[in-house]
Amino acid sequence: MTPRPSVVVIGAGLSGLAAAWELSGGATESPDAPRIEVLEAAGRVGGPLVLGELGGQAVDLGPDGFLARRPEARTLIEEMGLADDLIDIGASGASLWLRGQLHPIPRSLALGVPASMAPLRELGGLSWRARAAAWRDRVAPRALPVGDDASIGEIVRAKLGDEIAANVVEPLVGGIQAGRIDDLSAAALLPGLLAAAQRGGSLLRAMAAGAPSPVPSGAPGPAFHSLRGGLGTLPLALADRLDSRGVVVRTATTVQAVRRVTGEHPLVVETAHTATPADAVVVATPAPVTAALLGSWDPDLAALGSVAYAAAAMVSASYPEAMAALPAGTGVLVPLGTPWAGGGTMIVTALTFLDRKWEHLRQPGRALVRAHVGRSDDQRYAAFDDEHLRARVADEVALLLGWSARPTEVHVQRFLPGLPQYRVGYLDLVARARAAAARGGVDLAGSTYDGVGIPAAIGSGRRAARAARARLAERR
């Protein structure tokens, strides 16, 4: 009888767990699935998906929702039998802090870059010079030679001016990556923007021509979903399902090496106490960890060590304020460099109104507010202890929302290493690393390769698993 092949998944974040789910059969458990072992250095599964308690309720201390228009997360949740736990976002829209006031962000700026003059006319807080720069792009656009890639900031500054870049695109686009648009790759993050710039002429006109058709009236659904018990329940439930399928998930277990060997199995995964033979390996770890494990195999894998990460923190707080005291929408974005009355600039980059966003968290006379701090070039918060950080954030929230009340309960969650920075040329670096790993029988998964966000993480893990399964088929 031919022994079952062995697959080791390194990393039990959502990508690694999704890879194990796919390897075990996905929607339907497969009797022919390989032996699967998932190894995680941390003491728990889920990576940044973590639950805590605030105001007597379970609250996500990390990511709390996912894009509804991408199918990967919803598909996995339905396969797990959790469709009844899906909830829709309870509000939409957000505000932008400009010139000391909150201004509603026009809906047509949802992707961060304007495609016409309309949203720029609607957005308060912009100077006449900013609108004039955008108008000039329509009537007398500046030339900008663009090759295979360019930074988002380079394109927007050249075409629409510094003010729109810093006060509109930076908080809307850079904030998602915790990075700076002057560093971030348009090819990797906003290919539509790059294509518009490559056409030449007016960026606004090119963006409008390439914009997707609007959804018919009455057809659009919610923009985001979450789970009733919090998104942090997803990796826990997934680990339980995997355990019922016989998948071994080991936490607090650091992989020390992945070795290529000769013999029945081409690979061995080593920890301090074990050496597991493997026919295929999926590595779903941050780029520096992957480089440390595989860098000696090939310079293109060693190059993953150059990927920069932006550490960040989320400060979640319960306030004794009625929901009516909150501005409309689900939160506030704060441009980098916003002056702070205490000297220097604000450290808060965004606020999320958790109980405006998710109806099941709402309680009369209370508001749950999360502050986001930390960017690729602003790590000031890291020098603060938790007490100092709570106090500074509370002061900035008081200014942004005009509140005199102080929070009654606060939780600080720090994330290391944070988010990978997709800098110019990033797609080429990733493609070369993936090819080098595949030559050694390894597939790579995670936010390093396929984008940040819950659907991207799940899709990345499942794609890596399918590639590993194809590799096993070739060996038979």
CA atoms of 172 and 96, how far apart (whole Å) = 9
> Which residues 6+ apart lie within 8 Å of 334 measured at CB?
97, 171, 346, 348, 349, 350, 351, 400
> Which residues 6+ apart lie within 8 Å of 164 measured at CB?
114, 120, 126, 130, 133, 134, 156
Q: What is the pLDDT of residues 30-70, one digit of tens each?
A: 999 999 999 999 999 999 999 999 988 899 999 999 999 99
How far is it between the farthest Cα atoms of the chain? 77
Q: How far is CA 150 from the centre of its chain?
A: 21
- If you average pLDDT over residues 377-382, what whole number do you get? 94
Q: Is the pLDDT of residue 337 over 70?
A: yes
Q: Is the pLDDT of residue 469 over 70?
A: yes
> Which residues 6+ apart lie within 8 Å of 472 measured at CB?
5, 7, 34, 279, 280
Q: Are residues 416 and 437 in the same domain?
A: no
- If you average pLDDT over residues 151-179, what whole number do you get? 94
Q: Is the pLDDT of residue 433 over 50?
A: yes
Q: Are residues 381 and 432 in the same domain?
A: no
- The domain tally of the chain equals 3
User: Could you tell me the CATH number of the domain that includes residue 395?
Assistant: 3.90.660.20
pLDDT band at 113 (very low <50, low <70, confident <90, very high): confident
Tokens of residue 329, six digits: 């929408």
Question: What string of DSSP letters covers 395-413?
Answer: HHHHHHHT--PPPSEEEEE
- If you average pLDDT over residues 170-184, what whole number do you get? 92
User: Could you tell me the CATH number of the domain that includes residue 294?
Assistant: 3.50.50.60
- If you average pLDDT over residues 173-184, what whole number do you get? 92
Residue 58 placed within a domain: no
CA atoms of 34 and 39, how far apart (whole Å) = 16
> Which residues 6+ apart lie within 8 Å of 423 measured at CB?
151, 183, 184, 185, 308
CA atoms of 18 and 423, how far apart (whole Å) = 26
Question: 455 lies in which domain range?
Answer: 6-48+232-307+423-475
Strand order in the sheet with 275-278: 255-260, 267-271, 275-278
Residue 70 placed within a domain: no
Is the bond preceding residue 235 a cis peptide, omega within 30 degrees?
no
Counting Cα atoms < 13 Å in the Cβ hemisphere of 56 gives: 5
Tokens 């670096």 found at: 429
CA atoms of 247 and 6, how far apart (whole Å) = 11
Residue 24 placed within a domain: yes
Q: Is the pLDDT of residue 217 over 50?
A: no
Q: What is the pLDDT of residues 456-468, one digit of tens each?
A: 999 999 999 999 9
